[in-house]
């Protein structure tokens, strides 16, 4: 995939569409897989002994947070590559940015589905559990990252600032998670969310869950390809806009 | 002069400069400290109960510290970017790690002054009682927490320096990062104050957490500060 992304980034011609034959096929695959997942999750997979139908939220909840983690890891890897690379290709920065955007979206979905499930199962939208609290911090941290990407400045400045910030987030998140755990462990008995480790899943449920992970991963790759091409076009447009403006001033000066 | 001593000299010079600017302008004393004090009074209005205030005083002291810190950090970098002073330092080839150390240290001194005032306010307004052992632990907590806050504040302040909309951006970036300090410092202070029957010995693990935070961000800050301000 990396090779493919690079090829798009360094091409000088300005592409007017973000789609290619490959992404269209990938998009179609994502739609098919998500449809199958919906059928599996809503109809075929059995109800849970204790939770009844509410367990079906899991097939969306778990894959969304999985995709979000994957996205943030990719952001960190691309940021590190950008900073360490000799040529400092902005392509890495755009993939990092696109990935973080999708990550934020999926964390939001995960928090939303989680709180809906919590409302039905625990009777409350939110508990001050270590994992939930850390996830909320993860969400806010990357909203901050996206805000930094939108700051004034050149594309290089944006890339450097946001890469450093993405790497700082990698440090910050374990620290926050560790301290929140410490905070909870001394102030509240182990909460409901951490008690779910010894749950036995039915085979079909397990299959649906893994199928969900695969379906959402395909969706992630598809979104990522489009989004980073979109960012490439935006960057190209803003550079072209500047070139055109300089050209216009030059003409005025000559006249 | 070896590079090491020159770096220390630069850091000392930057710190002196920042503290001198503060000494002459008295922003901390005339504006930030009164702001912190009014926050403490407003907390009392919001909670309106002596028992509760005494119980939550540690958290309020640190929340007020964090809010005031946002202003001090803005100010610390407004001074640098107003006439391109930071760029001038970088163009002059000054080691960014030394600038980072100097600015962090100046920020730490100012934060320590604020925290001392806030703890004093808690004693006077919230009826917190501080034993001699508690006082010792409070000082250690303040030092450990302030080193972390000073480093993180300088790092993120440098990132947001000189860009449009930094006033709104800084809290969004900074507050999630300092959450561990709020948690650790609040718990350690609870132990020092004896809030909710906490023992002094309960505070030390939290001070270790503050120490880890300070260590991580002082190391990372001296490495990452350069690329952040190098523009």
Q: Give the pLDDT score at B71.
A: 93
Q: A183 and chain B: CB distance < 8 Å anywhere? A: yes
CA distance B16 to B48: 42
CA distance A43 to A41: 6
Tell me if ipTM is over 0.90.
no
Name chain A contacts of B205, Cβ cutoff 8 Å. 182
Calculate what percentage of chain A has a pLDDT beyond 90: 45
Q: Give the pLDDT score at A30.
A: 95
A4 vs A122, more confident: A122
Name chain A contacts of B184, Cβ cutoff 8 Å. 179
Name chain B contacts of A167, Cβ cutoff 8 Å. 224
Which position has the token pair 């730490």? Answer: B108
Helices and strands (H, E) in chain B, number of each type? 10, 0
CA distance B31 to B47: 24
Q: Distance between alpha carbon B181 and the CA centroid of its chain, in Å?
A: 10
Q: What is residue A52's three-state secondary structure? A: strand
Residue-wise pLDDT tens digits, A51-87: 778 888 889 999 999 999 999 999 999 999 999 877 7
Average pLDDT, chain A: 84
Residue numbers of A between 54 and 83 with CB closer than 8 Å to B: 83
Q: Are A122 and A192 in contact (CB under 8 A)?
A: yes
Can you read off the two tokens belonging to residue B155?
A: 């790092």
Q: A148 and chain B: CB distance < 8 Å anywhere? A: yes
Residue-wise pLDDT tens digits, A19-59: 888 899 999 999 999 999 999 988 888 887 777 788 888 89
CA distance B186 to B195: 10
Residue-wise pLDDT tens digits, B14-34: 999 999 999 999 888 899 999
Question: Bridge partners of A52?
Answer: A48
Name chain B contacts of A152, Cβ cutoff 8 Å. 163-164
Which among A140, A152, A186 has CB closest to B176? Answer: A140
Domain ranges of chain B: 3-229
Is pLDDT of A3 > 50? no
CA distance A88 to A108: 31
Helix (H) or strand (E) holding B28: none
Helix (H) or strand (E) holding B163: none
Q: Give the pLDDT score at B49.
A: 75
Subunit contact B220:A168, Cβ cutoff 8 A? yes
Report the range of poorest mean pLDDT among A172-186, B171-185, B208-222.
A172-186
Segment A168-181 shows an average pLDDT of 85
Which among B179, B212, B231 has CB closest to A176? Answer: B179
Q: Give the pLDDT score at A229.
A: 92
Calculate what percentage of chain A has a pLDDT beyond 70: 87
Which among A144, A152, A175 has CB closest to B164? Answer: A152
CA distance A206 to A185: 30
Q: B139 and chain A: CB distance < 8 Å anywhere? A: no
Name chain A contacts of B220, Cβ cutoff 8 Å. 168, 171
Closest C-alpha among A19, A82, A63, A17 to residue A220: A63
Residue-wise pLDDT tens digits, B32-84: 999 999 999 999 999 987 788 888 999 999 999 999 999 999 988 888 887 88
Per-residue confidence at A255, pLDDT binned at 50, 70, 90? Answer: low
Closest C-alpha among B69, B103, B79, B72 to residue B225: B103
Average pLDDT, chain B: 90
Provide, for chain A, the percentages of residues in helix, strand and coil under a 3-state DSSP scheme, each rounded to the nearest 5: 80, 0, 15
Give CA separation, B176 vs A144, B182, B220, in Å. 9, 10, 17
Q: Give the pLDDT score at A250.
A: 84
Q: B215 and chain A: CB distance < 8 Å anywhere? A: no
Residue-wise pLDDT tens digits, A142-160: 999 999 998 888 888 899 9
Q: Distance between alpha carbon B23 and the CA centroid of its chain, in Å?
A: 18
Segment B103-110 shows an average pLDDT of 96
Can you read off the two tokens belonging to residue A83?
A: 């900073």
Q: Are B180 and B102 in contact (CB under 8 A)?
A: no
Can you read off the two tokens belonging to residue B44?
A: 């009392």
Closest C-alpha among A238, A222, A195, A233 to residue A91: A233
Q: Give the pLDDT score at B27.
A: 87
Q: Give the pLDDT score at A131.
A: 82
DSSP string covering A134-193? HHHHHHHHHHHHHHHHTSSS-HHHHHHHHHHHHHHHHHHHHHHHHHHHHHHHHHS---GG
């Amino acid at each position: 995939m990396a090779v493919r992304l690079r090829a798009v980034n360094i091409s000088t011609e300005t592409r007017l569409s973000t789609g290619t034959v490959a992404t269209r096929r990938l998009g179609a695959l994502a739609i098919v897989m998500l449809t199958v997942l919906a059928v599996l999750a809503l109809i075929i997979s059995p109800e849970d002994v204790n939770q009844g139908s509410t367990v079906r939220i899991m097939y969306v909840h778990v894959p969304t947070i999985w995709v979000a983690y994957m996205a943030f890891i990719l952001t960190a890897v691309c940021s590190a590559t950008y900073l360490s690379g000799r040529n400092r290709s902005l392509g890495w920065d755009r993939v990092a940015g696109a990935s973080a955007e999708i990550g934020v979206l999926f964390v939001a979905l995960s928090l939303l589905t989680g709180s809906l499930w919590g409302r039905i199962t625990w009777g409350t939208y939110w508990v001050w559990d270590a994992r939930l609290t850390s996830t909320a911090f993860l969400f806010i941290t990357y909203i901050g990252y996206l805000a930094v990407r939108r700051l004034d400045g050149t594309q290089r400045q944006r890339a450097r600032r946001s890469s450093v910030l993405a790497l700082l987030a990698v440090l910050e998140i374990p620290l926050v998670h560790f301290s929140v755990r410490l905070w909870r462990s001394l102030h509240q008995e182990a909460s409901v969310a951490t008690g779910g480790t010894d749950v036995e899943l039915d085979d079909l449920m397990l299959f649906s869950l893994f199928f969900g992970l695969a379906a959402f991963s395909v969706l992630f790759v598809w979104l990522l390809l489009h989004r980073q091409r979109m960012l490439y076009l935006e960057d190209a447009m803003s550079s072209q806009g500047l070139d055109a403006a300089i050209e216009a001033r030059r003409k005025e000066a000559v006249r | 002069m070896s590079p090491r001593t020159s770096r220390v000299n630069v850091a000392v010079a930057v710190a002196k400069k920042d503290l001198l600017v503060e000494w002459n302008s008295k922003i901390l004393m005339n504006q930030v400290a009164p702001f912190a004090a009014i926050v403490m009074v407003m907390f009392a209005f919001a909670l309106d109960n002596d028992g509760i205030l005494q119980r939550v005083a540690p958290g309020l002291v640190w929340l007020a510290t964090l809010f005031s810190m946002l202003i001090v950090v803005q100010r610390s970098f407004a001074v640098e970017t107003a006439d391109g002073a930071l760029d001038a330092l970088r163009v002059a080839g000054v080691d960014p790690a030394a600038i980072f150390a100097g600015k962090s240290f100046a920020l730490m001194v100012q934060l320590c002054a604020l925290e001392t005032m806030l703890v004093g306010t808690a004693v006077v307004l919230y009826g917190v009682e501080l034993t001699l052992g508690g006082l010792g632990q409070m000082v250690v907590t303040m030092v450990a927490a302030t080193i972390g806050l000073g480093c993180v504040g300088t790092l993120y302040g440098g990132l947001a320096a000189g860009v449009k909309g930094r006033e709104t951006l800084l809290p969004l970036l900074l507050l999630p990062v300092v959450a561990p300090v709020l948690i650790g410092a609040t718990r350690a202070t609870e132990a020092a104050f004896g809030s909710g029957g906490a023992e002094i010995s309960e505070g030390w693990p939290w001070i270790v957490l503050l120490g880890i935070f300070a260590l991580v961000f002082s190391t990372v800050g001296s490495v990452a500060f350069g690329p952040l301000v190098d523009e």
